[in-house]
């Protein structure tokens, strides 16, 4: 077990609370018609991005998904610039041209969210290849992906190369039981998606994705293995998609009461006190204050985003192609 200090535990909670507040704010504003495009929320899955990114250094890299706000926050993105990006403003991380699904921030190793399901494996594996063969440093790269994405051929190509060449990449499967309207059992024969790791001779571990300490532990081990030059690890984090596939999804394919019961039973924020490692304790009031501070911080981020300008139309192609 990785040792966690009280300060680290507080930081875990703070990150999860920030992600939750961010997502709740985005949901409200999207439904009010203030945000352009399309948004997918990470509510209920916060412990995964938080636990994984906590085990990374600032110069390590992540490849995210269409459900990527939580990964970006956990990797250390500035929430004001993130919110401005989602509002399509020029002060945004990608000057308003990436939006929710193509947000990136290279200075913190956030290589990008990705609207292409299963589009991240080869980018993360390529980044790991560059670390090992070109830059010759010990930077690790992580790719997050869903259960639906795990069925794309791109996974198998990347996993094979990563394992054969012992590349420092970590495959993090967010097994939230749904791929859009499709329950994973109807498309996936294996009991655990991480069982597929055996086929590539890499370790495959299952963790409770609602427990940030368990996720962190698995990540610490995977990162150490990658830095030692021993190659990739597959971490499957069991979770549940609490929100609709996208904001505005009428969710006709499942029962809201069942989802709310699962959220009640597994919410990584409300169950935090019950999973603390031995020797660490918090008062509920301390946690409540962290949540309130996170809400305040995100309220300011939204105000900032609203106050920013849209990019000038003449800039529409700047940064879109490499010069
Ligand atoms: C290559 C490709 N195929 C299909 C889609 C449409 N699509 C967007 S999200 C999604 C479901 C993804 O499910 P999963 O990978 O389990 O991630 P989750 O949404 O559950 O986080 C689909 C099919 C897409 N964006 N890209």
Query: For position 282, which CATH number holds?
Result: 3.40.50.970
Name residue 141's beta-bridge partners.
61, 169
**Two structure tokens written together for 101:** 């699904």
What local confidence, expressed as pLDDT, does residue 319 receive?
82
- Which residue's CA is the nearest one to ligand 1's atom 12? 179
For residues 62 and 53, what is the distance between their CA atoms, to the nearest angstrom? 8
pLDDT at 102: 95
Mean pLDDT of 275-297: 97
Does the global pTM surpass 0.95? yes
What would the two tokens of residue 5 be?
A: 């200090």
- Using a pLDDT cut of 90, give the percent of the chain over it: 96
In a domain, residue 1? The reply is no
Residue 318 lies in a domain: no
pLDDT tops 90 at residue 30: yes
The torsion defined by the Cα of 255, 260, 265 and 269, in degrees rounded to 10, comes to 140
Confidence of residue 261 (pLDDT cuts 50, 70, 90): very high
- Asked, for residue 317, whether it belongs to a domain, the answer is no
Cβ neighbours of residue 252 under 8 Å, at least 6 residues apart?
Answer: none
Q: How far is the CA of 250 from the centre of ligand 1 (A)?
A: 17
291 C-alpha to center of ligand 1: Å? Answer: 30
pLDDT, one tens digit per residue, over 213-250 is 999 999 999 999 999 999 999 999 999 999 999 999 99
- Nearest atom within ligand 1 for CA of residue 117: 26
Using the mean position of ligand 1's atoms as its centre, give its distance from the Cα of residue 32 in Å.
25
322 occurs within a structural domain: no
* Position 200 in a domain: yes
Q: Domain range spanning residue 238?
A: 6-311
pLDDT of residue 139: 98
* Ranges 32-36, 109-113, 208-212, 317-321: which has the least confidence: 317-321
Q: 2: pLDDT confidence band, cut at 50, 70 and 90?
A: confident
Give me the pLDDT at residue 204, please: 98
Nearest Cα residue to atom 3 of ligand 1? 117
Instruction: Report how far ligand 1's centroid is from the alpha carbon of 147 (Å).
Output: 9
Residue 286 reports pLDDT greater than 90: yes
Phi and psi based region of residue 96 (left: phi greater than 0; alpha: psi -120 to 50; beta: remaining): left
User: What is the per-residue pLDDT across 127-144, written as a single tens digit (0 to 9) for each?
Assistant: 999 999 999 999 999 999
pLDDT at residue 252 in the model: 97
Spatial CB neighbours of 97, under 8 Å, sequence gap ≥ 6 = 311, 319, 320
- Asked if the structure places residue 40 within a domain, the reply is yes
Question: Atom of ligand 1 at shortest distance to CA of 115?
Answer: 25
User: By alpha-carbon position, which residue is closest to atom 4 of ligand 1?
Assistant: 117
Ligand 1: nearest atom to the Cα of 147: 16
The number of folded domains in the chain is 1
- Any residues with Cβ below 6 Å from ligand 1, and which? 66-67, 115-118, 146-149, 174, 176, 178-180, 241, 245
The pLDDT value given to residue 200: 97
The answer as to whether 321 is a domain residue is no
Q: pLDDT for 147-156, tens place per residue?
A: 999 999 999 9
Specify the residue with its C-alpha closest to ligand 1, atom 7: 117
Q: What confidence score (pLDDT) does residue 79 get?
A: 98
Share of the chain above pLDDT 70, in %: 100
Q: Give the residue, by CA position, lying nearest to ligand 1 atom 17.
A: 146
End-to-end Cα distance, the chain = 48
Report pLDDT for 41. Answer: 98
Q: Where are the alpha helices (DSSP H) in the chain?
A: 6-31, 46-54, 69-74, 79-86, 121-129, 153-164, 212-227, 256-266, 284-307
In a domain, 316, yes or no: no
């Amino acid at each position: 077990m990785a040792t966690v200090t009280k300060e680290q535990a507080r930081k875990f909670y703070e990150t999860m609370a920030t992600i939750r507040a961010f997502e709740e704010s985005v949901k409200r504003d999207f439904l009010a018609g203030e945000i352009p495009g399309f948004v997918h929320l990470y509510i209920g899955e916060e412990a995964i991005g938080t636990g994984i990114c906590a085990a990374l250094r600032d110069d390590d890299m992540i490849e995210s998904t269409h459900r990527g706000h939580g990964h970006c926050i956990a990797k250390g993105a500035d929430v004001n610039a993130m919110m401005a990006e989602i509002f399509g403003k020029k002060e945004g991380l990608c000057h308003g041209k990436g939006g929710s699904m193509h947000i990136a921030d290279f200075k913190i190793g956030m290589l990008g969210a990705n609207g292409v399901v299963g589009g991240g494996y080869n980018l993360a594996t390529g980044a790991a290849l560059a670390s090992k063969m070109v830059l010759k440093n010990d930077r690790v790269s992580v790719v997050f992906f869903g259960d639906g994405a795990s069925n794309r051929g791109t996974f198998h190509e990347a996993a094979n190369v990563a394992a054969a060449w012992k590349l420092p990449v970590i495959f993090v499967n967010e097994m939230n039981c749904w791929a859009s309207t499709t329950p994973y059992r109807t498309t996936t024969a294996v009991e655990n998606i991480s069982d597929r790791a055996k086929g590539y001779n890499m370790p495959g571990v299952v963790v409770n994705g609602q427990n940030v300490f368990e996720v962190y532990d698995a990540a610490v081990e995977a990162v150490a293995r990658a830095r030692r030059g021993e190659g990739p690890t597959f971490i499957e984090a069991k979770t549940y998609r609490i929100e609709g596939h996208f904001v505005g999804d009428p969710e006709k394919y499942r029962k809201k009461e069942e989802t709310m019961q699962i959220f009640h039973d597994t919410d990584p924020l409300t169950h935090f006190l019950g999973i603390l490692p031995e020797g660490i304790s918090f008062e509920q009031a301390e946690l409540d204050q962290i949540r309130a501070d996170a809400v305040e911080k995100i309220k300011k981020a939204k105000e900032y985003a609203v106050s920013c300008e849209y990019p000038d139309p003449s800039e529409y192609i700047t940064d879109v192609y490499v010069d």
